[in-house]
């Protein structure tokens, strides 16, 4: 009997129909936060999808408990708004129920709430060496090519830069579809990214796909290996600000335990869960405590193939990648509307 990815998808759909997700929101259980509990059939990446919904609503996670050992996924989040208050807006609460509850298809939640992303834009992805004035040079090239920049977000870390820009055709106001014109845009932007160092690593891509901006920026910088420290590392962070990450194997349970201590900030949980997911690790249990100025995160993980961290080299790579994921936002630059 043959087996295909399609049959796997159908099995997942069947499990979800038999065990639909359940969301309970409680504003009485905790004095200082709204408690959100999500129960669902388990699948790889579901934790990131739930965290992303909360993050895109700009909710602050102060505590969390996650358990997904076996076929069932259960997590509990204590959340507040940006001012530290409980969530009482019925529109937001209803949105959470719809995105995470029985009506939801989690894949549809992979968009950014409040950020306009549509097929009317062309997405331009850029990675290359960071330098002063780079964004201005890129914007000047796009203006010369009669492209209107609708929005742009740029991250820099360890001398590397990644940008995701939404552009439209200046004349039509829509997406740019002419392959020849797109090829010219890619070539000229790549030259700008290389600058005087024509042998430097630079990459440009264009797409009509709708994507989640911040997750894509993490993926772009990860692919660009910004986590590898060099003698010319970005020194915008002193050692006291840098996160402390440790990875040890728990042999009696066959997990690897990742502990992270860092200064707390918005979207911290998203950044770490995003990185673990994209590195193909599964979170089986986790505890998050970010009620004070310092955040503590603990994850019990295995690789998607079922194994814990196998070597010192793999352990060091996990540490480097998690540190990079946390540090990237410190130098984050956002630009909305016209640049």
**Is the same domain home to 226 and 141?**
yes
| pLDDT value at residue 280 | 95
184 and 272 housed in the same domain: no
Among the candidates 174, 206, 233, a domain finishes at 233
- pLDDT given at position 195: 74
- Distance between CA atoms of 97 and 101, rounded to whole angstroms? 5
pLDDT digits 0-9 by tens, 171-182: 999 999 899 999
Cβ–Cβ under 8 Å, residues 148 and 167: yes
Query: What does the pLDDT average to over 162-171?
Result: 93
CATH number for position 283: 3.30.70.260
- Is 67 part of any domain? yes
Q: Does the pLDDT of residue 96 top 70, yes or no?
A: yes
Q: Are residues 130 and 227 in the same domain?
A: yes
| 4 falls within a domain | no
Has residue 333 got a pLDDT over 60?
Answer: no
Taking the C-alpha atoms of residue 123 and residue 185, their distance in angstroms, rounded to an integer, is 12
Do 128 and 229 lie in one domain? The reply is yes
Q: How far apart are CA 177 and CA 280, in angstroms?
A: 34
Question: Is residue 3 one of the residues assigned to a domain?
Answer: no
List the domain range (segments joined by +) for residue 51: 15-109
Residue 236: predicted pLDDT = 54
CA distance 156 to 136: 15
27 shares its domain with 88: yes
What are the tens digits of pLDDT across the range 19-57?
678 999 999 999 999 999 999 888 888 899 999 999 999
Assigned domain for 335 exists: no
Q: Could you identify the residue written with the tokens 């409040």? A: 114
Return left, alpha or beta for 158; rule: phi > 0 is left, psi -120 to 50 is alpha, else beta: left
Residues 151 and 174 in one domain: yes
Mean pLDDT of the chain: 85
- pTM for the model stands at 0.84
**Distance (Å, rounded) from C-alpha 155 to C-alpha 219?**
12
Q: What is the pLDDT of residue 252?
A: 79
Q: Are residues 146 and 76 in the same domain?
A: no
Both 137 and 221 in a single domain?
Answer: yes
Does position 155 have pLDDT exceeding 80, yes or no? Answer: yes
- CA distance linking residue 258 with residue 237, whole number of Å: 22
Decide if pLDDT at 109 tops 60: no
Quote the CA–CA distance of 276 and 79 in Å, as a whole number: 22
Verify that 90 and 182 share a domain, yes or no. no
Higher-confidence residue: 102 or 269?
269
Query: Looking at residues 261-265, what average pLDDT do you find?
Result: 95
Q: What is the pLDDT of residue 261?
A: 97
Residues 264 and 197 in one domain: no
5 lies in some domain: no
Q: Does the pLDDT at position 199 exceed 60?
A: no
The total number of structural domains in the chain stands at 3
Tens of pLDDT along 271-321?
Answer: 999 999 999 999 999 999 999 899 999 999 999 999 999 999 999 999 999
Strand partners, 166: 123, 151
Q: What was the pLDDT predicted at 58?
A: 95
Q: What percent of the chain has pLDDT over 90?
A: 65
State the angle between helix axes of 312-327 and 213-223 in degrees (0 to 180), rounded to the nearest 10.
Answer: 140
Strands 72-80 and 122-129: what pairing? unpaired
Token pair listed for 292: 């004070």
């Amino acid at each position: 009997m043959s087996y295909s990815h399609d049959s796997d998808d159908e099995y997942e759909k069947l499990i979800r129909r038999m065990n639909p997700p359940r969301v309970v929101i409680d504003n009485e259980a905790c004095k200082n936060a709204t408690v959100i509990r999500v129960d669902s059939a388990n699948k790889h990446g579901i934790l990131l999808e739930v965290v992303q919904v909360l993050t895109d609503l700009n909710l602050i996670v102060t505590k969390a408990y996650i358990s997904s050992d076996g076929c069932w996924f259960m997590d509990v989040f204590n959340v507040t708004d940006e001012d530290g208050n409980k969530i009482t807006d019925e529109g937001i609460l209803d949105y959470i129920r719809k995105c995470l509850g029985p009506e939801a298809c989690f894949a549809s939640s992979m968009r950014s709430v409040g950020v306009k992303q549509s097929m009317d834009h062309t997405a331009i992805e850029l990675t290359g060496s960071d330098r002063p004035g780079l964004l201005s040079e890129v914007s000047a090239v796009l203006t010369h090519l009669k492209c209107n920049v609708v929005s742009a977000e740029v991250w820099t870390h360890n001398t590397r830069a990644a940008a995701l820009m939404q552009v439209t055709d200046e004349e039509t106001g829509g997406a740019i579809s002419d392959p020849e014109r797109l090829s010219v845009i890619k070539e000229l932007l790549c030259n700008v990214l290389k600058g005087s160092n024509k042998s430097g690593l630079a990459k440009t891509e264009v797409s009509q796909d709708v994507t989640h901006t911040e997750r894509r920026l993490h993926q772009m910088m990860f692919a660009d290996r910004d986590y590898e420290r060099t003698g010319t590392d970005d020194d915008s962070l002193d050692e006291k600000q840098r996160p402390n990450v440790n990875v040890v194997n728990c042999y009696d349970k066959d997990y690897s335990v990742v502990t992270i201590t860092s200064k707390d900030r918005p979207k911290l949980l998203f950044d770490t869960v995003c990185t673990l997911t994209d590195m193909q690790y599964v979170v089986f249990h986790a505890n998050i405590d970010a009620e004070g100025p310092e955040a503590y995160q603990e994850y019990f993980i295995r690789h998607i193939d079922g194994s814990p961290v196998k070597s010192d080299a793999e352990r060091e790579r996990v540490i480097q990648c998690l540190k990079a994921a946390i540090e990237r936002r410190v130098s984050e630059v956002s630009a909305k509307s016209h640049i």
